[in-house]
């Protein structure tokens, strides 16, 4: 019975594993999986988290600092008690308890500018994360479309091979009855072999495209990995009716790489203001409140007359006596000392920079360079975005034109091939003309597929830059 349950469990596990392994991945599934598991995305998320912590810390810098200190000290040998101002030669223990606080009243707006700088840095980091996600989405979409293209290319190659096989059978039959020459049969056999090689090549390209997508998804194997095969037509050319500049202006307003570059410019400008603030005086308000205890602190508990002693001699030679007293001491209690030794302080400090070896001037000059560099980086990012959209627009328009031309070419060559095939079967054309017509049709179909997917991808890229998610639906 135990073996029965074990076998049942294993069967269930294998069935479940098979079900999971046969998951059909949509484009949205692939993009979502990549964004959740990509190591670079996770690293950038950590960088963004650090940037947020730094921003929060810059907010905290505006608040006063408060510190509490406590000490317990043993002094051996002669020492001066800070509370009695007397010498003590025995082992003395003492305690100190203090609260201190300080707040910057003015520092050339360095704290406020630092806060704004950290805020811009945090926003730039978030936009960098979004830009990375966009790049990964485009990469996944490209690999996904490559699989769809190779699938259709493989199907086209198989159709061509099937046509060649059927024609080979007919030609063999005609050759056997002496209708066609052996040369024609050999030409058809060669064409069938070439078509078979094309199928193998197309299959290899398809396998490699599956492997490429699986690697982008960080999957360990392509076994059981398959994607959805959505049936989609060539999208309308609505976006191509717009001007490139209009598409660019909209993309420029929403693309995260532009936003990130803009935030970095603002951050650099705040850095310049911070550097200039180093030339301003700073004012700080500070205060403290504390008390302490000393083991050497004593009070007189009792005084008694112990006798007299000579304290001097008069001019007439008489001895002068004075009383001597005996003192009894008692230690001041801990809590009494804490109350008696309470002290507080409040102060203002002014720091005026006069000469710091030109460090401030150097920082200002460096900050100006950083601003110029950030502005150039922003302009370069805008230029690259414009070039990307311009190229995608031109490629999409060119691909659409090729698609329409290829559609007409396929239609015409299909009719031509059918006509040539009929004439070949009737012995009116030779095998060379037949193969030529067939290969021209195959090339036209291949060009049609290439134009179709290039147009779909380019138009989706343009749409993606308009802020729309990459989808084939």
Task: Label residue 86 by pLDDT band (50, 70, 90).
Answer: low
How much is the pLDDT for 9?
41
CA distances from 86 to 82, 133, 298 (A): 8, 73, 11
- The neighbouring-strand residues paired with 227 are 25
Q: Are 143 and 171 in contact (CB under 8 A)?
A: no
* Long-range contacts of residues 194-201, Cβ cutoff 8 Å, at least 24 apart: 195/157, 195/160, 195/161, 195/163, 195/164, 196/161, 198/157, 198/160, 198/161, 198/442, 199/154, 199/157, 199/158, 199/161, 201/157
Cβ–Cβ contacts within 10 Å for residue 139, how many? 16
The model's pLDDT over 96-106, given as tens digits with 9 standing for 90+, comes to 888 999 888 88
Establish if 312 belongs to a structural domain: yes
Instruction: Of 24-33, 147-156, 236-245, 386-395, give the lowest mean pLDDT range.
Output: 236-245
Rounded to whole angstroms, the Cα distance separating 455 from 449 reads 10
Number of domains into which the chain is organized: 1
- The neighbouring-strand residues paired with 313 are 319
CA angle 328, 332, 336 (to 5 degrees): 150
Cβ–Cβ contacts within 10 Å for residue 59, how many? 12
Taking the alpha carbons at both ends of the chain, their separation in whole angstroms is 52
The model's pLDDT over 177-234, given as tens digits with 9 standing for 90+, comes to 877 788 888 888 998 999 999 999 999 999 999 999 999 999 888 888 999 988 777 7
Q: Which domain holds residue 313?
A: 301-331
How much is the pLDDT for 75?
73
Establish if 99 belongs to a structural domain: no
Rounded to whole angstroms, the Cα distance separating 309 from 362 reads 78
pTM across the whole model: 0.79
Query: Phi and psi at residue 312, in whole multiples of 5°?
Result: 170, 180
Rounded to whole angstroms, the Cα distance separating 260 from 123 reads 7
pLDDT of 239 strictly over 60: yes
Establish if 316 belongs to a structural domain: yes
Structure-model confidence comparison of residues 19 and 77, the more confident one: 77
pLDDT of 42 strictly over 90: yes
How much is the pLDDT for 79?
64
Task: Label residue 432 by pLDDT band (50, 70, 90).
Answer: confident
Establish if 195 belongs to a structural domain: no
DSSP code of residue 26: P
Establish if 320 belongs to a structural domain: yes
**Which strands, in side-by-side order, build the sheet including 65-75?**
65-75, 92-106, 282-294, 343-351
Q: Is 71 helix (H, G, I), strand (E, B) or coil?
A: strand
Average pLDDT, the chain: 85
CA distances from 431 to 80, 96, 190, 322, 357 (A): 120, 109, 11, 150, 91
Rounded to whole angstroms, the Cα distance separating 411 from 414 reads 5
Establish if 315 belongs to a structural domain: yes
Q: Are 83 and 337 in contact (CB under 8 A)?
A: yes
Establish if 317 belongs to a structural domain: yes
Most distant CA atoms of the chain, gap in Å? 175
DSSP of 283-332: EEEEEEEEEEEETT-EEEEEEEEEEEEEEEE-TTS-EEEEEEEEEEEEEP
The model's pLDDT over 324-347, given as tens digits with 9 standing for 90+, comes to 877 676 788 888 778 888 898 999
Establish if 311 belongs to a structural domain: yes
């Amino acid at each position: 019975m135990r073996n029965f349950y074990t076998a049942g469990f294993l069967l269930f596990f294998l069935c479940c594993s098979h079900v999971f392994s046969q998951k059909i991945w949509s484009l949205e599934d692939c993009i979502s999986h990549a964004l959740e598991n990509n190591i670079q995305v996770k690293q950038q998320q950590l960088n963004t988290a650090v940037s947020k912590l730094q921003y929060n810390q810059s907010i905290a810098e505006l608040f006063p600092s408060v510190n509490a200190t406590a000490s317990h000290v043993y002094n051996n040998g002669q020492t001066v008690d800070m509370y009695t101002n007397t010498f003590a030669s025995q082992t003395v223990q003492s305690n100190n308890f203090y609260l201190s606080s300080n707040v910057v009243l003015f520092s050339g707006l360095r704290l406020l500018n630092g806060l704004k700088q950290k805020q811009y840095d945090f926003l730039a980091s978030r936009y960098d994360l979004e830009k990375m996600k966009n790049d990964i989405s485009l990469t996944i979409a490209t690999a996904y479309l490559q699989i769809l293209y190779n699938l259709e290319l493989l199907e086209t190659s198989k159709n061509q091979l099937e046509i060649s096989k059927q024609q080979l059978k007919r030609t063999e039959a005609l050759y056997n009855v002496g209708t066609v020459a052996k040369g024609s049969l050999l030409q058809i056999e060669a064409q069938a072999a070439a078509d078979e090689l094309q199928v193998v090549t197309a299959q290899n390209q398809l396998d490699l495209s599956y492997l490429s997508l699986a690697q982008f998804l960080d999957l360990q194997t392509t076994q059981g990995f398959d994607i959805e095969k959505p049936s989609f037509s060539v999208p309308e050319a609505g976006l191509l009716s717009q001007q490139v500049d209009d598409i660019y202006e909209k993309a420029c307003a929403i693309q995260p790489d532009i936003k990130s570059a803009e935030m970095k410019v603002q951050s650099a400008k705040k850095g310049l203001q911070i550097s200039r603030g180093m030339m301003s005086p700073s004012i700080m308000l500070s205060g403290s409140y504390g008390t302490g205890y000393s083991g050497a602190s004593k009070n007189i508990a009792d005084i008694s007359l112990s006798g007299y002693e000579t304290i001097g001699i008069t001019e007439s030679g008489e001895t002068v006596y004075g009383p001597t007293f005996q003192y009894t001491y008692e230690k001041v209690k801990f809590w009494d000392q804490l109350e008696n030794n309470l002290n507080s302080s409040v102060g203002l400090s002014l720091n005026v920079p006069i000469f710091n070896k030109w460090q401030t001037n150097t920082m200002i000059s460096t900050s100006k360079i950083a601003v110029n560099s950030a502005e150039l980086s922003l302009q370069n990012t805008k230029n690259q975005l414009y070039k990307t959209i311009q190229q995608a627009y031109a490629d999409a328009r060119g691909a659409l034109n090729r698609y329409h031309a290829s559609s007409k070419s396929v239609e015409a060559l299909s009719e031509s091939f059918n006509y040539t095939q009929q004439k070949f079967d009737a012995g009116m054309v030779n095998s060379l003309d037949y193969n030529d017509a067939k290969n021209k049709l195959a090339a036209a179909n291949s060009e049609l597929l290439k134009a179709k997917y290039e147009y779909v991808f380019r138009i989706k890229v343009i749409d993606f830059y308009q802020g729309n998610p990459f989808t084939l639906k």
